[in-house]
Structure 1
Amino acid sequence: MYHDFIYNLQLSLYKLLINDNEIKTKINKIYFPVVQDTKCPFLLVNILNVNNISTNVQNIMQLEFAICIFTNDKNRNIALSLVSKISDKIEHHSFENVAGIKTNKIEFHTSKDLVSTKLVMNYQALLKQKIGV
């Protein structure tokens, strides 16, 4: 079932990021869903789009997800310092059932209150598993 695919990848991403000492010292928390009134800086692993292109013999999912780093404007350097670290960890990690993963786009968003900043790292992944395995 493709829900298991997505959950397993999301959990693997969480474990990969939370177990890194450098990330842990710079980030307060890592979340899956959006949390209100949380303390910056924090990370959010957000699933954006899932496209099921399975065949009769293989489950195949195209997945788009984002890793967002939320910071206060005074801590913007934290987000910048973590971009290459996070990107390298994700792209060089061997995830179960992931045929390929790549960074698609990285961009900054400033909030309307001009106090917080969100750095978004968009990724694309291809997940594959033979049916019956």
Structure 2
Amino acid sequence: MQRYYAIFYPMEDEWGVRFPDALSVNTSGKDIDEALEMAMDALSAMLVFGRKGREYQEPRGFEAIQAEAKEGELVFPVTPTEKAMEAYRPKKRINVMIPVDLLNRVGEALKDQKGLDRSKFICNAVEKRLNEGVDARS
């Protein structure tokens, strides 16, 4: 995944974050930890939704970004997270016919699984099958 360096700067009661290589991506947090979390989320959204007509340059290295930072500002690497990127991926509701007994088996398998519902389970199964490169007709 692409890593961008962000400049974290103190504000009155929080830390602001700007990405010199993605100028329209800005965020903030009440402390450095929250600002970093928000920066990962903002970067993830940008990478999922695309540039939408904005021209972002390829991410530069630490030294180039550090040279732009002012006194009292910090530079940290920011990498998007799979979890945040998944949350931003567009989704579409569809109707799919699944035998009731198979759907019941899925429900039973998920009973004790936190954070996993039938939709996520089915998407994961489809993704796995496609990644295997197996003929979808089999």
After TM superposition, is the score higher than 0.5? no
Query: Which has more helix, going by share of residues?
Result: 2
